[in-house]
Amino acid sequence: SKPSIASVLHSTEQLPQDSESSKSLTINGFIRSVRKQKRFCFAAVGDGSTVQPLQAVLTPAQAEGLSTGAAVTISGLLKRSPAGKQQDYELHASDVRTIGEADPASYPLQKKYHTAEFLRTMPHLRTRIPFNSLLLRLRSHSISRLTSFFADRNFVQVHPPIITSSDCEGAGEVFTVADQSSQKPPPPSGQHRREEPFFRDSKYLTVSTQLHLEALAQSVGNVWTLSPTFRAEKSDTARHLSEFYMLEVELSFVDKVGEVLDVVEDMLRDLAQSLQESRLGKELLQAKRSFLKESWPRITYTEAIRILERAEAEQKVDFEFKPDWNNGLQAEHEKYLAETVGKGSPVFVTDYPQAIKPFYMLPSASDETVTDGPTVACFDLLVPEICEVVGGSMREHRLQQLVAGMKNRGMAKGTQQDFGSLNWYVDLRKWGSVPHGGFGLGFDRLLAYLAGVSNIREIVTFPRWVGRCEC
Ligand code: 4AD
Ligand code: MG
pLDDT of 460 over the 80 cut? yes
Q: Is the CB of 388 under 6 A from ligand 1?
A: yes
Band of the pLDDT at 1, cuts 50, 70, 90?
confident
180-239 pLDDT, tens digit per residue, is: 655 566 666 666 666 678 888 889 999 999 999 999 999 999 999 999 999 999 988 999
Taking alpha carbons only, the member of 245, 201, 266 closest to residue 460 is 245
The ligand placed nearest to the CA atom of residue 390 is 1
Q: Is the CB of 450 under 6 A from ligand 1?
A: no
DSSP state letter for 71: E
Q: What is the pLDDT of residue 172?
A: 84
pLDDT of 272 over the 90 cut? yes
Ligand 1, atom 22: nearest CA belongs to which residue? 442
How far apart CA 233 and CA 174 sit, in angstroms, is: 8
Does residue 228 sit in helix, strand or coil?
strand
384 neighbors 338 (Cβ within 8 angstroms): yes
118-155 pLDDT, tens digit per residue, is: 999 999 999 999 999 999 999 999 999 999 999 999 99
pLDDT of 310 over the 70 cut? yes
Going by their DSSP bridges, the two strands 223-230 and 243-252 should be labelled as antiparallel
Distance, CA of 230 to chain centre: 13
pLDDT of 4 over the 80 cut? yes
Residues 6+ apart with CB under 8 A from 78: 8, 15, 22, 23, 24, 25, 89, 90, 91, 92
Domains of the chain (ranges, CATH numbers)? 5-112 (2.40.50.140), 130-397+434-458 (3.30.930.10)
Summary mean pLDDT of the chain:
92
Q: Is the CB of 233 under 6 A from ligand 1?
A: yes
How far apart CA 83 and CA 250 sit, in angstroms, is: 56
Residues 6+ apart with CB under 8 A from 374: 353, 354, 355, 363, 364, 367
Ligand 1, atom 15: nearest CA belongs to which residue? 442
Q: Is the CB of 283 under 6 A from ligand 1?
A: no
Q: What is the pTM of this model?
A: 0.94
Q: Is the CB of 89 under 6 A from ligand 1?
A: no
Does residue 356 sit in helix, strand or coil?
helix
Concatenating the DSSP letter of every residue in 15-60 gives PPSSTT-EEEEEEEEEEEEEEE-SS-EEEEEE-SS-SSPEEEEE-H
Strand partners, 72: 29, 98
Cα–Cα distance list, 127 to 107, 123, 462, 464 (Å): 14, 7, 10, 16
Q: Is the CB of 300 under 6 A from ligand 1?
A: no
Does residue 33 sit in helix, strand or coil?
strand
Q: Is the CB of 438 under 6 A from ligand 1?
A: yes
DSSP state letter for 320: S
Band of the pLDDT at 11, cuts 50, 70, 90?
confident
How far apart CA 16 and CA 269 sit, in angstroms, is: 38
pLDDT of 260 over the 70 cut? yes
Q: Is the CB of 5 under 6 A from ligand 1?
A: no
273 neighbors 301 (Cβ within 8 angstroms): no
How far apart CA 87 and CA 283 sit, in angstroms, is: 16
Mean of pLDDT values over 27-33? 97
Helix (H) / strand (E) element for 147: namely helix 130-152
Q: By CB neighbour count within 10 A (0-12 exposed, 13-18 middle, 19+ buried), where does 314 fall?
A: exposed
What number does the ligand 1 atom closest to the CA of 438 have? 11
Q: What is the pLDDT of residue 90?
A: 94
Q: What is the pLDDT of residue 103?
A: 96
Band of the pLDDT at 178, cuts 50, 70, 90?
confident
Q: What is the pLDDT of residue 180?
A: 64
Q: What is the pLDDT of residue 389?
A: 98
The ligand placed nearest to the CA atom of residue 389 is 1
Taking alpha carbons only, the member of 24, 22, 25, 44 closest to residue 34 is 44
Taking alpha carbons only, the member of 202, 200, 275, 257 closest to residue 439 is 257
Task: Work out the percent of the chain whose per-residue pLDDT is above 70.
Answer: 95
Question: Strands, E, within 211-288: which ranges?
Answer: 223-230, 243-252
Q: What is the pLDDT of residue 194?
A: 63
Mutate to test the pocket of ligand 1, among 208, 261, 443, 456 (most ligand atoms within 8 A of CB): 208
64-74 pLDDT, tens digit per residue, is: 999 999 999 99
How far apart CA 428 and CA 433 sit, in angstroms, is: 6
Ligand 1, atom 30: nearest CA belongs to which residue? 240
Distance 441 CA to ligand 1 centre (A): 6
Cα–Cα distance list, 180 to 175, 195, 404 (Å): 15, 10, 38
Q: What is the pLDDT of residue 190?
A: 62
Q: What is the pLDDT of residue 196?
A: 75
Q: What is the pLDDT of residue 295?
A: 85
pLDDT of 179 over the 90 cut? no
How far apart CA 285 and CA 438 sit, in angstroms, is: 33
How far apart CA 272 and CA 275 sit, in angstroms, is: 5
